[in-house]
Amino acid sequence: MATEAAEAELGTYAPDFLLPGACGQTWSRDAALGPNGLLVMFICNHCPYVQAVLDRIIRDAGELQALGVGVVAISSNDAEAYPDDSFEAMKRLWRERSLPFPYLYDGDQSVARAYGAVCTPDFYGYDRELRLRYHGRLDASGRQAAPPGARRELFEAMQRVARDCRGPDQQVPSIGCSIKWKAAA
C-alpha cells in the first residue's frame, strides 16, 4: 500500500544526525551541507518506488551537487524484517550503482523520526541556513517511472533554493512505500 509523505512545516530547521555511510565514513548534517543547501532523501534498497526512480535520483543529485547543494540518502527501514535493506546490502548498492552521494544507515530510526519521514522516497530540501524549503516529490513517478519528459519538480525546486533560498509555492507530496518501523520494545 502506498503512503504519502507527511506534511512538513516549511522554514523549520534541519535536525542534526551522525550516521555511518556505505562509503565507510560517518556523516553529520553539517558535513553533508553544501554552500547552497542540503537535500536529505529517505530511500531504501527494496522499495519499488525508489527502484523506479533511482536513475533519476542519481542524475538529479549529481546536477544539484554541481550547483553547490549537498546530497545525502538515508535508509531507516527495519533491516531485521527487511534484509534487502541491511547495511551490507546498502554498501553493495552504493558500490554497484556508483551513487554520487553518501548513503547513510539510520539503524535506530531516530533520524527518520526527527525529520518526520514516513515513506520512501521522501525528500527534504534545505537552504544554506538549513531551513526547509522543499518537501515534495521527485517528479510524477509512482511505482513506475514517469515519462522521460516529466517535469523535474525536485531538481527545479532545489535549483531555486540554491539560487535564492526559496522553494516553490506549490509542492506535491512524495508517495512511496511506508518506512518499515521496528516493533516497539
Q: What is the pLDDT of residues 82-96, one digit of tens each?
A: 999 999 999 999 999
Q: Give the C-alpha separation, 149 to 105, whole Å.
A: 32
Find out whether 136 and 153 touch, Cβ atoms under 8 Å: yes
For the cut 60, the answer to whether the pLDDT of residue 171 exceeds it is: yes
**pLDDT band with cut points at 50, 70 and 90 for residue 185:** low
pLDDT at 7 over 90: no
- Picking from 183, 185, 184, 179, the residue whose alpha carbon sits closest to that of residue 76 is 179
- Grid coordinates given for 10: 516549511
Question: Residue type at 116?
Answer: G
Residue range 106-165, pLDDT digits in tens? 999 999 999 999 999 999 999 999 999 999 999 999 999 999 889 999 999 999 999 999
CATH 3.40.30.10, domain 2-178, yes or no: yes
Q: What is the pLDDT of residues 28-75, one digit of tens each?
A: 999 999 999 999 999 999 999 999 999 999 999 999 999 999 999 999
Q: Which residues contact 175 (CB under 8 A, 6 or more apart)?
A: 2, 3, 4, 5, 49, 119, 137, 142
- pTM, 2 dp: 0.96
- Orientation angle between helical segments 153-164 and 48-66, nearest 10 degrees: 30
10 exposure class (CB count in 10 Å sphere: 0-12, 13-18, 19+) = middle
Mean pLDDT across 2-29:
92
CB 164 within 8 A of CB 133: no
Give the per-residue pLDDT at 35. Answer: 98
User: What residue spans define the domains of the chain?
Assistant: 2-178
